[in-house]
Structure 1
Amino acid sequence: MSPSDRRSSAPRPQRAAGPQRGPARSPRSRIADKPLLVNPRARVRVMFLAVLFVFTLFAAQLVRLQAIDAREVAEQARDLRMGTETTIPAKRGAMLDRDGVTLAGSVERRDIVADQTQVPDFKGLDPKPGEQRVGGVDGAAAALAPILKQDEATLKEKLTGERRWIQLSLGQEPSVWRQVQALRIDGIASEQVSRRVYPAGAPLAPVLGWVGSDGEARGGSGGGLELLFNETLTGTPGKSRVERSADNRVIPMGESEVTPAVPGQSLQLSLDNDLSWYAYNAIADRVKATDADSGTVVVMDTKGRLRAVTQFPSFDPTDRNAKGSEFSSLPFQQVFEPGSTAKVMSLGAALDTGAVTPTTGFTVPNRLTRADRSFRDSHDHPTLQLTTAGVLAQSSNIGTLLAAEKVDPATLEKYYRSFGLGQRSGVGFPGESSGLIKPSAKWDAAQRYTVMFGQGMSVTAIQDAGVFQTIANGGVRIPPTLVEGVKNADGSSTPQPLPEGTRVISEQTATDLSVMLESVVGESGTAQQAAIAGIPVAGKTGTAERYDPTVGRYQGYTASFVGFAPADKPELVVAVILQNPKKGYYGGTTAGPVFQQVMSYALQKYGIPPTGVQRTPFPLKVGEKPATDPEKVDPSLIGPGGTSGSGTPTAPRVAVTTSAPTAESSGTQSQGTRTPPSSATGGATAGASGTR
């Protein structure tokens, strides 16, 4: 028996008696009976599978992000970095005068803003010897205060907090922003904006108008030409976006999207900046000297192009809150009874219809009864024998009634309206008045006559000037214009054609009226102070009782003078209106000198020389012979081109005869009562008072 057999057959020792146990199990079977996760190998296997699954998900997501949705994800990330879209303001078009001088324009300005969360990172400026470096909010406020001209404590308060955007200063010039930028203060930035400026100032402020805080004239936030041409002047804003980091800093060399702004178109106006300035100062001085409520001056050429439209009071475009500011454009919006300047229409109608001629004689009594009313002139006088020309030169109300009553009311009204009354000028100026004139069928018995000498109707200064433009233009009325062309951003321009003219009176009638109007500024006329040495002037005074709606009756006067020169070859028309002057109120003595100053300056500025001859005037009195040897002009009075010897525009000497007082200056107005207007038209219904 082998040793192994012996070992297996040998009896084993018996254990002590004790509790009985079950059959013995092998180690393998014991391991198999344990839970699965307790088994280290199984646990490792599960963990491997789980990790593999997670990595599979990551791989799938990576494939989606890098391959399938790569473009979309990249765009989303870029959009997050690009941030919000910033508007690039479009530059508003400018308004230029006839010579290209800027009257209204837009300039670049900077609104300085701050991110309060970044300002504390400011390291401070390099200190001076012996001083300590101060950074953070304190250092930023101290550095900004002298540049922005603000209190340091106020700036410190604005810079402290958690706001990501706050305004520090608005409308600063680019040079100021460059100083701020040089400080390199964390969180300080600027936004480019556009601001409207008006270099022309007060002389043209009411006609140019203004814009609102958003830089546009709309929704009640603008006026004048800014409002009228808002769509033309307004450009198309651009857009801009740049990449920014999580802390809102611009990423250098990052992407950017920019859609450039398209600037608005500019307007080339017919206005003359220098002439407007001169006229403004002349009327301002006269308003103060006569203690008038207001004054206006309108200058246009014979084709209706407005060269100056100014007034006093006006307003300062840089301080619209100043006391005494007048925002209405009085030449377009203020209506008044014209008085004797309307006589040129009444007599023009009589001449044009053939009812009278310039030499038709009239017996002019001291009083004339019509429609149960007693009419008179501005002064008492004996019975006069005047021609039609004399009636106009002497500004006789009674003579005008005798001549114009030969024309029926409907025809008379037709001429008034053909001269431009009762309708807007055609400029389209915001708030422009059409004037006030009733249809002739609604005239009462007295108004049938008062309209002949300019009471019982109302006009604007633009309309009053337009009447004389018609005469100066040979009887053809051309509606006034303010725009000569439109300029594009590329420098090209589109000229604006003149409106079509309308014949109102014949050329012969216009010539006759022109010659007759020369006598108004002559020795026997009412406007010697409007005369210009060496230049024949044709014009008419106006002195009308002024209806004051605040008291509901006539109170004060409207004084005016409207004329053109040179009378025999007209180039320019000037209208001067004074409302309620208290130190003298006749048109010849109050408005006439302003006409003389403004017309003299304009003729010299445009180099309009004297013609060198005078036309033979019509006789003013019945039986009077016309002058056969008219006085020649002395060329030495005015240099070449209408300038003085030095070539500098100066006010020329005025040829005024003072030996014999004129009827206007010497006459005294007799006492009479006025009846308030019978309707809202403001028309006078009583003819007790005369006009000049």
Structure 2
Amino acid sequence: MSTPRDPRPRNPRRRGTPDRTVKGTSPRENGGQGRPRGSVDPARTGTAAKGGRPRPRGKAVPSRRPPRGPVPPLRRRFRRSDPGPRIRIALALMGVVLLVFAGRLVQIQGIEAASYASAAAELRLSETEIPTTRGSITDADGRPFAMSVEVRTVFVDPYDVKADERDTIVTELSRRFDLPEEEVARKVDSDDSRYQVIAREVPLEEWKELDELDLQGVAAETAYKRVYPEETGAANLVGFVGTDGHGLEGLESVLEDTLAGDPGSRQVELGTGGTEIPMANGVAKEPVPGHDVRLTLDQDVQWRAQQALAQRAGELGADSGSVIVMRPTGEIVAMANYPTYDPDAIEESTPEQRANGALSAAFEPGSTNKVITAAAALEEDVVTPDTVYTVPDSIRRHGETFRDSHNHPTQRMTLNGIMATSSNVGTIKVAEDVGAEGLYEYLGKFGFGEPSGLGLPGENSGILTAPDEWWGTQLASISFGHGISVNAVQMASVYATVANDGVRVEPTVIAGSTDENGEFRPAPEPAKERVISEETARELRLMLEAVTGEHGTAQDARIPGYRVAGKTGTANRVDPDTGSYDTGGYTSTFVGMAPADDPELIVQVVLHNPKEQYYGGEAAAPVFTDVMSFALKTLQIPPTATEQPNIRLFE
């Protein structure tokens, strides 16, 4: 019986097939490192390399690792035995990287060199502001109401302070600027900043004295301080600036664009630790000074108006008041207010003290309004100055009784007499001849119910309602100045219109300003409008002159050597707290002009709630006389050369 054949392939070497030894592997040909020719590989015979047992013949032993497949061409290229391709690829990659770096360097150092240099410079440069001077506010003759003076901001650089001068600096700075030594020491020893402000608005002379001590680390910057000459009396009009140098109230605020100027700028280079290194030609922008503004005011007249008002208000215990001095052509010569404040000590003032009451306080004009009633009657040819009215001391209209200020028997008065004695009853009769529509028309023509034209903040334009809204007694009450309201500038403008031969010129307080070359440029001409004829204006002036005459209500308003025309006014005042007349007291006014034959000045006086005396002729007229007398002399207006004519007051 035959033995089954082993299906596994036989090892050909078992039949003595010669070993296909590669040439050079014998000990002689391979330095003794190969196997002897004809020797059998122990791995092929199954014999362990180190003492293993021989494998049984006729049995094939599977290989320990799977047979390798064909090696991919790319892997054959990267075998360790052949490094050439790898080196060539590495060199190519390095070349590409170097080309990228070279291109970037060309871009930075060649194409974009200027922009990168500029960016680098900006990291070292800092821009600081160069302060500029704010324009001055002056009177008509150039005397300042507000001006800027050069001062210093004193600071210390802790980094630059010498150790052996530290105590001296602390002592000196605290003594000179009246500061606690602990506060100064904290700033001198600070490591938060190299700019520690010690004092602001230091006068130039004080800084020079300190600078002479040559204390290292103590320095100063140029700054400007706004100052207001004392006792000019114009604080409520001029206003003030804030800590940043910008106008906050009054003309300082309204004229900000003209006064402020434009600060400059300077570039400095920052060294190690933030030290500023000035640069040659480092001024980036030159500072542009502000423009000066010239007012129509006269500083002397302004001062006297303020003093006279404050004195009289104090004597009578008035809550507030104002004085306006105006030329017939609308230029305001003085605008005084009570109470007032010190613009150099804003923190000590109240909003009420800072208010410009000449514009912000509206009041019932009382009998000073009678001039408009008379003007309407004359202009519409309803009456003449000699037209006679029967005037009792009281009259009833729509269930209400209207009285004159004093009891008198029924009299036959001309229009001249009605104005001279300030008769309410006579004025009501004249107004009824004019009619509501006619009276309303002339009130509007004289500027009631509209802003004065000054363009100042906080103005109260008053109240003037249309005739279709007037109730039964309102024509009567409006005719003598009740039931409507105005401010002091509006009322002064009415009398300026009469003084200017019937032409109303919009009030103004700005004469002009300087341009960039320092040359004066006048302000634009104000608006003008004829309200009444020249003849009517002349007749009204004669009526108003009679007010200061023998039978008039304002004999205290006379001024020796001058003919004076004017009108008293007394009106109930609304209490601002309760909205009632019962507790509001009175508003006392007087407004007049001089010389009456050729007017040069108008003075309007208003006292709100005087306690001791409240009739306009008693309370306000003395202020008029004081201010007008001073203004006539100060402005060198010659005395009147004509005599006051006799006018008929009674039949």
Superposition TM-score, scaled by structure 2 size: 0.81
Conserved? CA contact 2:145–2:232, under 8 Å: no
Alignment of 1:478-627 (within 5 A): 478-554=505-581, 555-622=584-651
Deviation, 1:481, is 0.4
Deviations 1:552-595 (A, max 9, x none): 21131111110000000000000011111111111111111111
The aligned residue for residue 207 of structure 2 is 177
Q: Mind listing any 5+ residue stretches in structure 2 that lack a counterpart?
A: 1-29, 33-99
Matched, 1:393 2:399: no
Give the direction of change, closer, same or farther, for the CA distance of 1:546–1:58 in structure 2 (3 Å limit).
Answer: closer
How many aligned residue pairs are there? 556
Matched, 1:278 2:276: no
Conserved? CA contact 1:94–1:266, under 8 Å: yes
Deviation, 1:391, is 0.5
* Structure 1 residue corresponding to 2:243, chosen from 213, 232, 244: 213
Alignment of 1:136-147 (within 5 A): 136-147=165-176
Superposition TM-score, scaled by structure 1 size: 0.76
SS in 2 for 1:279: helix
SS in 2 for 1:423: coil
Distance 1:84 1:282 in 2: 55
Give the direction of change, closer, same or farther, for the CA distance of 1:585–1:214 in structure 2 (3 Å limit).
Answer: same
Conserved? CA contact 2:267–2:279, under 8 Å: no
The aligned residue for residue 154 of structure 2 is 112
Conserved? CA contact 1:114–1:166, under 8 Å: yes
Matched, 1:337 2:361: no
Select between 605-614 and 283-292 the one with higher mean Cα deviation: 605-614
Which AA in structure 1 matches 2:453?
Answer: G
Conserved? CA contact 1:200–1:273, under 8 Å: no
Give the direction of change, closer, same or farther, for the CA distance of 1:563–1:261 in structure 2 (3 Å limit).
Answer: same
Deviation, 1:616, is 1.4
Which AA in structure 2 matches 1:572?
Answer: L
Which AA in structure 2 matches 1:460?
Answer: N
Give the direction of change, closer, same or farther, for the CA distance of 1:401–1:74 in structure 2 (3 Å limit).
Answer: same
Distance 2:465 2:478 in 1: 10
Alignment of 1:176-575 (within 5 A): 176-199=206-229, 201=231, 203-217=233-247, 222-251=248-277, 256-322=282-348, 326-554=353-581, 555-575=584-604
Which AA in structure 1 matches 2:478?
Answer: V
Deviations 1:208-244 (A, max 9, x none): 1122221113xxxx11111212122221221101234
Give the direction of change, closer, same or farther, for the CA distance of 1:367–1:236 in structure 2 (3 Å limit).
Answer: same
Distance 2:104 2:399 in 1: 106
Deviations 1:491-543 (A, max 9, x none): 11211133131111111111001011111001110001110011000000001
Which AA in structure 1 matches 2:593?
Answer: F
Deviation, 1:249, is 3.6
Deviations 1:465-489 (A, max 9, x none): 0110010000111110011111124
Distance 1:209 1:200 in 2: 14
Conserved? CA contact 2:263–2:288, under 8 Å: yes
Which AA in structure 2 matches 1:147?
Answer: R
Deviations 1:592-614 (A, max 9, x none): 11111111111111111113212
Distance 1:252 1:260 in 2: 16
Q: Mind listing any 5+ residue stretches in structure 1 that lack a counterpart?
A: 1-21, 25-56, 123-134, 623-692
Conserved? CA contact 1:335–1:459, under 8 Å: yes
Distance 2:377 2:278 in 1: 82
The aligned residue for residue 152 of structure 1 is 181
Distance 1:279 1:23 in 2: 133
Deviations 1:361-407 (A, max 9, x none): 11111221112211110111111111110010000000111112101
Give the direction of change, closer, same or farther, for the CA distance of 1:477–1:255 in structure 2 (3 Å limit).
Answer: closer
Conserved? CA contact 2:126–2:270, under 8 Å: no
Between structure 1 and structure 2, the one with the greater Rg is 2
Distance 1:58 1:142 in 2: 61
Select between 388-397 and 316-325 the one with higher mean Cα deviation: 316-325
Deviation, 1:323, is 5.5
Conserved? CA contact 1:243–1:255, under 8 Å: no
Deviation, 1:143, is 2.6
Deviation, 1:549, is 2.8
Distance 2:447 2:579 in 1: 27
Give the direction of change, closer, same or farther, for the CA distance of 1:58–1:545 in structure 2 (3 Å limit).
Answer: closer
Which AA in structure 2 matches 1:176?
Answer: E
* Structure 2 residue corresponding to 1:86, chosen from 128, 142, 145: 128
- Identity among equivalent positions (%) equals 42
Conserved? CA contact 1:352–1:509, under 8 Å: yes
Give the direction of change, closer, same or farther, for the CA distance of 1:61–1:383 in structure 2 (3 Å limit).
Answer: closer
Conserved? CA contact 1:95–1:104, under 8 Å: yes
Which AA in structure 2 matches 1:617?
Answer: N
Select between 496-505 and 581-590 the one with higher mean Cα deviation: 496-505
SS in 1 for 2:475: helix
Conserved? CA contact 2:590–2:621, under 8 Å: yes
SS in 1 for 2:416: helix
